[in-house]
Amino acid sequence: AQTVTQSQPEMSVQEAETVTLSCTYDTSESNYYLFWYKQPPSRQMILVIRQEAYKQQNATENRFSVNFQKAAKSFSLKISDSQLGDTAMYFCAFMKHVWGAQKLVFGQGTRLTINP
Amino acid sequence: DVKVTQSSRYLVKRTGEKVFLECVQDMDHENMFWYRQDPGLGLRLIYFSYDVKMKEKGDIPEGYSVSREKKERFSLILESASTNQTSMYLCASSSGILYGYTFGSGTRLTVV
């Protein structure tokens, strides 16, 4: 079974700093997708970034980028120039195809606080 | 924008009650999911459905059932609520692997 591990329950940085959230996963599959989701205090889960495992190039979305190391099964999220609005729970997730649906497996989450 | 709507934001129920959590999506997605979210455990899949009247167990289905009579609606049922089912419940839908999920805003259920 696939598992996703986020080893940092909480992190805190100052505004404008760069922060990296770590994520490791375990799978025997060769083709899969990885995601980072953000859950602010409003509770609405928001997709931050997506990475296809067959792509070697790391995904980027504005201030958000990933460091995808397929052999190491590592998928970290880097937030540059952090802003107060980045304060949220962040979940790493692995997607696999099963029974006609795409099932997301989530990590435990990292609570990120951006301080003014 | 795709919308996934959960009928209640907060819910308080008594032990032993039958509880219905409703979820509706408006974008004709085939796949719908119910997760529960607990501190330190992340999101865990309870049930999912890839078509009308089709349902599959997720990782923690015990004590729950689901119903999908129409494509847009996916209901989670707690047959006899217990205090260990106090949690945040998140519904999601998806149309394909490239897009991830669209989530509802969650229902925080307290069983007393």
Per-residue pLDDT tens over the stretch A3-23: 999 999 999 999 999 999 999
- B49 contacts on A by Cβ (under 8 Å): 101
CATH of B4-111, one of 2.40.50.140, 3.40.50.2000, 3.10.110.10, 2.60.40.10: 2.60.40.10
Torsions phi, psi of B101, nearest 5? -115, 155
CB B46 within 8 A of CB B60: yes
- A108 contacts on B by Cβ (under 8 Å): 40-42
> A55 in contact with B at a CB cutoff of 8 Å?
no
Whether residue B43 and residue A91 make contact (CB cut-off 8 A), yes or no, is: yes
> A111 in contact with B at a CB cutoff of 8 Å?
no
> Given this model, what pLDDT does residue A30 score?
80
Q: Higher pLDDT residue, A99 or B85?
A: B85
Q: Are strands B42-49 and B73-78 parallel, antiparallel or unpaired?
A: unpaired
> Given this model, what pLDDT does residue A97 score?
64
> Given this model, what pLDDT does residue B27 score?
84
Mean of pLDDT values over A59-86 = 96
Fold of A3-111: Immunoglobulin-like (2.60.40)
Lowest mean pLDDT among A39-53, B11-25, B66-80: A39-53
Spatial CB neighbours of B37, under 8 Å, sequence gap ≥ 6: B43, B44, B87, B88, B89, B90, B106
